[in-house]
Chains A and B, each alone.
Chain A
Amino acid sequence: MPEQSPISSVNDFVVRFANVNGSGSASANELFARSILRHGVPVSPRNIFPSNIQGLPTWYEVRVTEAGHLGARGGVDLMVAMNPQTWDKDVASIEPGGYLFYDSTKPMPSSKFRADINVIGVPLTAITNSTYSDPRQRQLFKNIIYLGALSALLEMDPKVIEQLIGEQYKGKEKLLSSNVHALHLGRDWALQNLKCPIGLRVKKADKVGDRIFMEGNSAAALGAVYGGATVCAWYPITPSSSVAEAFTSHCKKLRHDPETGKAKYAIVQGEDELASIGIVIGASWNGARAFTATSGPGISLMTEFIGLSYFAEIPAVIMNIQRAGPSTGMPTRTQQCDIIACGYASHGDTKHVMLFPEDPAEAFEFAAQSFDLAERLQTTIFVMLDLDIGMNHRLCRPLKWDDARQYDRGKVMTAEMLEEGRDFGRYLDVDGDGIPYRTYPGTHPTKGSYFTRGTSRDRYARYSEEGAVYVDNMQRLVRKFETAQDMVPRPLQANAGKPTKCGVIYFGSTSPAMDEAIGLLEAKGHHLDRLRIRAFPFHSSVASFIADHDFVYVVEQNRDAQLRQLIVNENGIDPVRLVPILHYDGTPITARYIANAIGDHQDHLKVTPLRKAVS
């Protein structure tokens, strides 16, 4: 008997599946997560996978959270240990009093277990082998059999799972019934041989509402469809490939002419990232809405073109699904590590607009908006996701679209305007906002043509190396960036229940962990006002938020506090006032981590106020 009393929790625990990559476990595990959602209980699943196709360890973690905490929690309450390669580490990671579910077909020495956990053995291989003879079937149905056993152990409603299987295999009766059969094989064995339920239980609730369950990459791709993107050029790279793949499948359903069957889009898999961004820039120059999706290494390759987009003022949308760098880094692990690389991409003086969605719903909105911004500002817009948002299913509010919404195609001078005798200077600031007019190629037989180049030129696009002409242009680009400040999504502020002189700034995928951490910190008496930054250039409210607080924590998922650097640099803030809270081991940041780091700092402040210590 374990010395520790078994963990007892309803609708609030973490299950982790340890599997072998390529064993077909992913769909069974996702079915598990979805069926809990169908119980009305929020879940937050995460894939933890290697850069590998078959054979290496992979994990799938499901946080069951009636309270709706969608960030990673840390720790494991129930380990479904299906991978002998990682057994020791997996067993060690279980919380005291937690549960170990394993395939007990082959006896294991007692040294392989822990005294303070509850061991649940199910002879999965034996059950599978006695039922199926085909090796592939044995492998696939074993996953469904453990799902069946778990449903009994966690007191889940089998009807809910059956319904999901029914939806998945609609029209494929044979697959449907064989999956349901396998589910009950595992479930019945558990009910007959084990004490069900265990201390962890799923109880029906009504906490999901109308929320949807979606991956950020698919949402961003759908945003591109709604935002009017017609040209997509891309080069495969983890974790961004599924953006282009999702764009392809969304377009196949939503973007074919009903009469001719022809495509109202063009997707090219480029030979590399340079070609991808080149195609995007060529298409945008010619008046189409175009984008590419990539990750850090792709950004490095694209920087020359990004500079051209900035200087020659050509719209472009780049979706950067960030992963751990530098170099190849950890290709399948998450980070927010390209803030500086994107914000200041390319040689010379450059600055670029970045949008930071927190979840799939915002990824959809920002992706759609990015095309308006790119054409209005005639420059590159980065939509900055990361692997945590991009490649995991996340519960989020339903996607919305206003049918009255029109695309903002920006300042485009038409043949009619040219005919009227409007003065066309490609780089002429006619409205004082730094944004000039452009013409599409082929507009007018004798007016409005110009030569696009990455070299310096005057207001009428004539080549010039005159210092004053160059400075005039560079200053206009600064004005344009200032204009951008009020066009991009504003930061969102949420104040603590009590007045406080401490604040916290965060962005992107840190959101759910931060929201949860606030509760943990408040329980310990630490009150913080929150500001979620949603775009660069920073709105003036960022500087005023910092001014309103003595200390502001900046929480981010990289080593060098890149957002903090950008804030210090762009707003002339005294760095001492911005306290970095950094998490960068490649796992998603957790509420526990944030609460501990900020809590420690706050406790320390109580002893020696930092203001005195540094003065």
Chain B
Amino acid sequence: MTYIAKPKFHHPGLPKNELGYTHRDYEGKISTLCAGCGHDSITASIIEACYELSIEPHRVAKISGIGCSSKTPDYFLGNSHGFNSVHGRMPSVLTGANLANRELIYLGVSGDGDSASIGFGQFAHSIRRGVNMTYIVENNGVYGLTKGQFSATADFGSKSKKGVTNTDNAIDLVAIALQLGATFVARSFSGDKTQLVPLIAAAIRHKGASFIDVISPCIAFNNHAGSTKSFDYVREHNDAVNRLDVLVGRDPISVDYAPGTVQVVEQHDGTRLALRKLDADYDPHDRLGAQNFLQKHAAKGQIVTGLLYVDPEADDLHAHLNTVETPLNTMDERALCPGSAALEKINASLR
């Protein structure tokens, strides 16, 4: 539907954020995905999160791989540079982009085929390195564009639309991200915007590798009985451990919550995350506990959602590499070239 121009006019009374932008300024082209696709809901949540954070739209670089999910960066932040790269290789392209200019916000959008199969290695290694990014997997458990093959996140025993039972074990990307040292790990559901929007906002503000697994039912190929990624199944088995509010430059405690049920987490940049605890025993600072909690609930067939782990003091790849504060892409020969005198010394040492 990209041939249909998206109308630019909007209601003059549309609310504006701190920078004076409306929602519409964070939108992109018209989606070409199927009507009702969960991915479009995620797109809407990204738009909402960026609007609420008052991010300058052009200061985001949105990078994806190949697949339905990877098409979505065209549908939000139309004034941002986007890069629809190579299947499974979003993480490496994003890593390189991030090294070149540490001042932009990096949004990596991928799918379960892109990240759990062909790009499983790149997913793992970008997380390991602590690249400062928000890595969103739009997880529908199926290859949509090629018409319904199982992906590696499809649960063992789940049924495809054609009635085939999956006999391979599923990869839980959240469990892997926790094990690999991601410093912000969350899971959500495309149908739960209230939970998802603050998670995306918090992940963007997080310095370090943020990973969000968003279960996003495929309306065309994975929304039937027997699927464990359908709207009905996810709604029935969703076990949210917390609900989040992201507070930027405002008072941390929201009076709406009963005392003792809110946990405030302050991130590097001053952002405060107000976590409304739904599960009294859940501690989002305990990596081991999170892994354990996840496994236990998975065994019971429950899909744990919410902010599962955050390390508010995290560092990123630039800190590990001790790179200069100035973006590398702005440096010229005066900053980078050692010059002829240094070269003469090198020549002398080679005789």
Contact = CB atoms under 8 A, between A and B. Distances in A.
Interface of A: 37, 208, 210-214, 222, 225-226, 228, 230-231, 233, 254-255, 257, 260-268, 270-272, 274-288, 290, 304-305, 308, 398-403, 405-407, 439-446, 449-455, 462-463
Q: Chain A contact residues: over half helix, strand or loop, or mixed?
A: loop
A441 B337 CA distance: 24
A275 B79 CA distance: 27
Contact of B121 (A37, A272, A288): A272
Given A212-B350, A278-B93, A263 B324 contact: yes
B56 A445 contact: yes
Contacts of B73: 451
Nearest to B90: A278
B226 interface: no
Given A213-B351, A275-B122, A262 B322 contact: yes
Nearest to A452: B83
A407 B100 contact: no
Interface residues of B, number: 62
Please classify the interface of chain B as helix (H, G, I), strand (E, B), loop, or mixed, using the class held by over half of its residues.
helix
Contacts of B13: none
Contacts of B321: 263, 266-268
Nearest to A453: B84
B343 A270 contact: no
A446 B101 contact: no
Contact of B57 (A233, A260, A308, A445): A445
Interchain residue pairs A-B with the least CB separation, the first 4 = A282-B96, A278-B92, A288-B100, A287-B329
Given A254-B342, A308-B85, A282 B331 contact: no
Of the listed residues A231, A282, A283, the one surrounded by the most CB atoms of chain B closer than 10 A to its CB is A282
A288 B328 CA distance: 6
Interface stretch (B58-66, B227-235, B246-254, B273-281): B58-66
Contact of A225 (B79, B129, B325, B338): B338
A446 B25 CA distance: 9
A263 B323 contact: yes
B193 interface: no
Interface in B336-351: 336-340, 342-343, 346-347, 350-351
Given A282-B97, A399-B346, A402-B340, 17 more contacts: A37-B351, A231-B328, A254-B338, A265-B328, A271-B124, A278-B93, A280-B96, A282-B85, A283-B99, A286-B329, A288-B96, A288-B100, A399-B347, A401-B337, A407-B333, A441-B61, A442-B104
A222 B337 CA distance: 10
Contact of B95 (A226, A268, A399, A445): A268
Given A212-B350, A405-B333, A443 B100 contact: no
A278 B122 contact: yes
A322 to B, nearest CB: 24
A132 B324 CA distance: 50
A404 to B, nearest CB: 10
Contacts of A440: 81, 101, 329
Contact of B100 (A274, A286, A405, A462): A286
Interface string B70-95: 00011000111111111001011111
Nearest to B101: A286
A381 to B, nearest CB: 17
Nearest to B329: A287
A405 to B, nearest CB: 7
Contacts of B269: none
Given A260-B324, A264-B335, A267-B321, A231 B84 contact: no
B103 interface: yes
A495 to B, nearest CB: 31
